[in-house]
Amino acid sequence: MDLHDFSLIAAVLAIAAVVALLAVRLKQPLIVAFIGVGILVGPVGLGWVTADGTVELLAHLGIAILLFLVGLKLDLHLIRTTGPIALATGLGQVAFTSVVGYFIAIALGMDTVTAIYVAVALTFSSTIIIVKLLSDKRELEQLHGRIAVGFLIVQDIVVVLVMIGLTAFGQEGTDNLALGVGEVLAKGLGLLIGIALLMKYVIPTLIRSIAQSQELLVLFGVAYAVAVAAFSDWLGFSSEVGAFLAGVSLASTPYRDALGARLVSLRDFLLLFFFLALGAQLEFTDARSQLTAAVIFSLFVLIGNPLIVIIIMSLMRYPVRVGFLAGLTVAQISEFSLILAALGLSLGHISNAAVSLITVVGLLTIGGSTYLILYSHQIYDKIGPWLEKVFDRTQGRTVALTDPPPDTDVILYGLGRFGGHVADRLGQSGWRVLAVDFDPYRVEKNDRPNVTAVFGSAEDIHFLETLPLGRAKCVVSSVPLLDTNKALMHGLRHHDYRGCVALTAHTMHDAVELQRSGADIVLEPFDFAATTTANSLAEMIVELERRRNDEDGAAGPVTR
């Protein structure tokens, strides 16, 4: 495709806009639309686009910006705060999917190298898509959301390491293996040391001066990402690895969020060309067998990946519901899987047919998992009881509460942002609080005065039997989930609890429903915060006007 042909570019972009609009209406991520456009205008479809140098150049720029933003957003603190669960689920799911996926590929008649590529491609999930979906559902700060983002970051690190290995050892090199390995390690160490020196001595001062102009900051970000990517490619590593490290080197600066926000649109636009180039390389010479293999692999990803996460998290004593909701986030392959396939094709390791297969699996799993995540709670309501019978391992945590604290004034469910502040205020006021949370990290890190934290779930009616309900004056739930609060209310009625019950709601509809369920108090933190803020602002405005009037009066009337 000649990019100087303005009309052809306009036609491709117009098709992309229409298909993207359709994807949004169907609640699908734009990556699905971009892949579809690539297939539609490529040789398989209309034949408008071929993989020429210009399209490939823009595609490489798009991938570089994508990896740069991934590195820029890399938050290792999130992995630490989610504890071992992020590493266990992230690495466990990668190992399970790659091993089982390899044997499935071998059983389908693939050669060893192709089977390895396909199996590894199945292991990675899209951080971009998952964060967007969880953010839209306001579940990023919930336990399953934080765990999901934690192990997705682990996956991002793994995929970068895989690309380093492929590009370093996949090139033709010396016949001496030991010498080749030493050379690769020396180059990699040199690259890391160079980035570390830039981070310590150059970047802080330089970016402080550059950030005085937002336009210059964006230009610097793109130029820096591409320059480090090119240097990494020159060393024998992929340009993607260099772009990722460039992002990591800026992740600790206070300007990363502003830079990342401004580059997202550029990333999305350039990634369109990556999928155009990908669509231009696809081959469906044996569509029937490829479709059969794609369906088998897609079912494996959609069912097997969430299942292994549920198993790992249940073994670590997490509630099945949390494992299920977190597991659904790995029920798809990511844009990194497609990048990995394109890398394997460029190295001559796999054929266009393998790339086509991985792309179809991407379409099926991304599309399917999107609906699974959107309707995750409704799905769990249907299959949750069966999953709990098979995988529930939380009893080991509740046994420790057979001898609860003798003096308990308030039982508080939830130690999140709102619940944590409630626990702080109650404890500081001298109330003896028994806090219940199903996040082990929050339970272990609790050091509030007069607050004892235990592991448990508000939806577990049997757990209520271990609580000192007869001594507690009030049960408070800071969890803003309607179904969870209804389940708690049902459990308290079942145990004939006579004290005060306070439940939390974020919407007027939920508040009305909780009042109907019998709650004595419905806490509405958003409404309370808005009312308090409005009252404070009104008082401040009145006070400022009074001061101005006093100052004008002190000056005296103006006379001629």
Render 90-131 in DSSP notation, one character per residue. HHHHHHHHHHHHHHHHHHTT--HHHHHHHHHHTT---HHHHH
Say how far apart CA 198 and CA 249 lie, in whole Å: 8
* Of 156, 85, 110, residue with least CA distance to 296: 110
Q: Is the pLDDT of residue 48 over 90?
A: no
pLDDT in the model for residue 402: 45
pLDDT in the model for residue 501: 93
**What is the token pair recorded at 249?**
């080197």
The mean pLDDT of 246-254, rounded to a whole number, is 83
pLDDT in the model for residue 557: 54
Provide long-range contacts, Cβ within 8 A and 24+ apart, for 307-310.
308/92, 308/93, 308/96, 308/97, 309/89, 309/92, 309/93, 309/151, 310/387, 310/391
The mean pLDDT of 503-520, rounded to a whole number, is 90
Say how far apart CA 355 and CA 361 lie, in whole Å: 10
CB atoms within 10 A of CB 109: 10
Rg for the chain, CA atoms, rounded: 28
Which residues, at least 6 apart from 261, have a Cβ–Cβ distance to it below 8 Å? none
Residue 394 · residue 334 · CB < 8 Å: no
Say how far apart CA 336 and CA 123 lie, in whole Å: 10
Q: How confident is the model at residue 404 (pLDDT cuts 50, 70, 90)?
A: low
- Among the residue ranges 161-170, 226-235, 513-522, the one predicted with the least confidence is 161-170
- Express the helix, strand and coil content of the chain in percent, nearest 5 each: 70, 5, 25
**Residue 477 in 3-state DSSP?**
strand
Q: Is the pLDDT of residue 172 over 60?
A: no
pLDDT in the model for residue 195: 85
pLDDT in the model for residue 397: 46
Q: Is the pLDDT of residue 410 over 50?
A: yes
Say how far apart CA 39 and CA 359 lie, in whole Å: 10
Q: Is the pLDDT of residue 492 over 60?
A: yes
pLDDT in the model for residue 83: 61
- Among the residue ranges 129-143, 213-227, 464-478, 489-503, the one predicted with the least confidence is 129-143
Amino acid, single-letter form, for residue 340: L
pLDDT in the model for residue 51: 60
Say how far apart CA 118 and CA 351 lie, in whole Å: 11
Work out the percent of the chain whose per-residue pLDDT is above 90.
Answer: 12
The residues facing 474 across adjacent strands are 410, 500
pLDDT in the model for residue 180: 60
Q: For residue 339, what is the DSSP state?
A: H
Q: Is the pLDDT of residue 477 over 90?
A: yes
Residue 158 · residue 94 · CB < 8 Å: yes
Provide long-range contacts, Cβ within 8 A and 24+ apart, for 73-77.
73/247, 73/251, 73/256, 73/260, 74/153, 74/156, 74/157, 74/247, 74/248, 74/251, 75/153, 75/251, 76/153
Q: Is the pLDDT of residue 75 over 80?
A: no
* Of 299, 278, 303, residue with least CA distance to 354: 278
The mean pLDDT of 536-557, rounded to a whole number, is 79
Q: Is the pLDDT of residue 241 over 70?
A: yes
Mean pLDDT (the chain) is 81
Question: Is residue 114 left, alpha or beta, with left meaning phi > 0 and alpha meaning psi from -120 to 50?
Answer: alpha
Q: Is the pLDDT of residue 280 over 80?
A: no
Does 82 or 165 have the greater pLDDT score? Answer: 165
In the chain, what are the domains? 5-388 (1.20.1530.20), 410-523 (3.40.50.720)
Whole-model pTM: value is: 0.70
The mean pLDDT of 405-434, rounded to a whole number, is 88
**What is the token pair recorded at 112?**
């060893």
> Virtual CA dihedral for 191, 192, 194, 199, nearest 10 degrees?
140
- Among the residue ranges 105-109, 227-231, 335-339, the one predicted with the least confidence is 335-339
Q: How confident is the model at residue 135 (pLDDT cuts 50, 70, 90)?
A: confident
Work out the percent of the chain whose per-residue pLDDT is above 70.
Answer: 87
Does 348 or 396 have the greater pLDDT score? Answer: 348
Phi and psi, residue 5, nearest 5°: -80, 90
Longest dimension (CA), the chain: 103
Q: Is the pLDDT of residue 55 over 80?
A: no
Residue 270 · residue 65 · CB < 8 Å: yes
- CA 310, distance to chain mean position in Å, is 17
Which residues, at least 6 apart from 362, have a Cβ–Cβ distance to it below 8 Å? 35, 332, 333, 334, 337, 338
- Among the residue ranges 158-167, 240-249, 401-410, 446-455, the one predicted with the least confidence is 401-410
**Residue 251 in 3-state DSSP?**
coil
pLDDT in the model for residue 394: 54
Phi and psi, residue 461, nearest 5°: -70, -30
For 353-400, the pLDDT digits (tens) are 888 888 889 888 988 888 898 888 889 888 888 888 887 765 544 444
The mean pLDDT of 92-120, rounded to a whole number, is 91
Provide long-range contacts, Cβ within 8 A and 24+ apart, for 26-29.
27/370, 27/371, 27/374, 28/366, 28/367, 28/370, 29/126, 29/128, 29/129, 29/132, 29/133, 29/366, 29/370
pLDDT in the model for residue 287: 62
Indicate the pairing of strand 410-413 with strand 500-504: unpaired
pLDDT in the model for residue 53: 63
**Residue 453 in 3-state DSSP?**
strand
The mean pLDDT of 334-345, rounded to a whole number, is 83
Q: Is the pLDDT of residue 441 over 90?
A: no
pLDDT in the model for residue 400: 44
* Of 401, 332, 326, residue with least CA distance to 140: 326
**What is the token pair recorded at 463?**
């757990």
